Amino acid sequence: MITIEAALFATLRTYNPNGESSEPFRVQLPEGSTIENLLKKLNIPPGESKQAFVNNRRQEWDYILQEGERVAIFPPIAGG
């Protein structure tokens, strides 16, 4: 197992298992887990618009997470 730190921002805060907040929280995942696996574990529906940054770098869903990494998930916003 690996432990990562996740944080959910803006409209996605509602999926924080510790209550609606953007405070980071720890998640345990099997080794080799991807961002997609993390989203599933957090019950974030596939239809929800989102993008993920791992250690401040945007990554795609098939990115394999490593022990201790920080994952921030934001909704895309594009209005003017």
Partner 1 sequence: MQEFSEAIKLLAEESISPAGKPYFTISLSSVRSVASQFSCSIKEAEITALKNSIIPERYERSLGTVGGMQGQILLLNSRAAVMGLGGLGGLAAELLARMGVGTLLLIDGDSFSESNLNRQVLATEENLGEKKAEVSRNRINKVNAAVDAIPFAQMATEDNIESLLDGCHVILDCLDNLRTRFLLQETCKKLSIPMIHGAIAQFYGQVSTILPGDQGLNAIYRSFEKGKDNGIEKELGNPATTPALVAAWQVQEAIKLLINKKELLRNRLLFIDTLEGSCETIQLEG
> Min. distance of Cβ 12 from partner 1 in angstroms?
10
Among residues 47, 42, 45, the alpha carbon closest in space to that of 72 is found at 42
Q: Does 53 bind partner 1 (CB under 8 A)?
A: yes
Question: Given the complex with partner 1, which of 65 and 74 has the nearer CB atom?
Answer: 74
Q: Does 14 bind partner 1 (CB under 8 A)?
A: no
Q: Does 46 bind partner 1 (CB under 8 A)?
A: no
Q: Is the dihedral of CA 66, 72, 76, 80 positive or negative?
A: negative
Task: Decide: helix, strand or coil at residue 58.
Answer: strand
Q: Does 22 bind partner 1 (CB under 8 A)?
A: yes
Residues 9, 72 contacting (CB under 8 angstroms) = yes
Residues that bind partner 1 (CB under 8 A): 9-11, 13, 21-22, 49-53, 56-58, 60, 72, 74-80
